[in-house]
Amino acid sequence: METKCPPLVFLLFRYLGVGSIATAIHYAIFLALIEAELADPVSASICGSMVGAIASFIGNRAHCFKADGSRVLQPIRFTLVALAANLGNGVGIWVLIKLSFSPLIAQALVTIALTALGFIAHRFWTFSHADIKSVSRAP
C-alpha cells in the first residue's frame, strides 16, 4: 500500500530545499568575497544575503508558491517578510540570551520559529493568488 504525504508537507519540504539553496548561495558569496579580500565581513554578508534573498524569491515563486494572479507586489511583500524575519532574528536572539539560553540554542530556536512563520507568511500573503490592490487606485 502506497502512502502519500499531504501536499502541504511536500510544499514545506520544497520551501526548506529552496531555503537551503539560498543559504548556500549566501554563504558562498560571503566566503568568496572574504577570501578574495574584496569586502569586509559585514559588506560580504550583506551582499551574500541580498543575492541569497533573490535566489529564495525566484526559487519559492517557481517551485513552491505558484500563483496564477498578478505578481506585481510579490517582490515587495517578500522583502517585507524578509525584513521582518531579520528583525525577528535579532529580537529573538536578544530575548533568549537575556533568558540565559546559549547563543547556539537561541539561534536554533529562533531559526525554527522564523522558518515556520516565514513559510506561513509566504504561503498566505507573499505569494497569494490575489494581489493586493494598489492604494493609489481610486474606485
Question: Cα dihedral angle (11, 12, 13, 19), rounded to 10 degrees?
Answer: 110
Residue with grid cell 517578500, as numbered in its chain: 78
Contact 117, 81 (CB under 8 A): no
Q: Where are the alpha helices (DSSP H) in 36-102?
A: 41-63, 74-98
Q: How far apart are alpha carbons 17 and 100 in whole angstroms?
A: 32
Q: pLDDT (tens digit, 0 to 9) for every residue of the chain, 139 residues total? A: 455 555 788 888 999 999 999 999 999 998 999 899 998 888 888 888 899 999 999 999 888 887 666 678 889 999 999 999 988 888 888 899 899 988 889 888 988 999 999 999 998 888 876 554 443 343 3
pTM score, whole prediction: 0.75
Interacting residues of 15 by C-beta distance below 8 A, sequence separation 6+ = 60, 64, 119, 122
Contact 130, 69 (CB under 8 A): yes
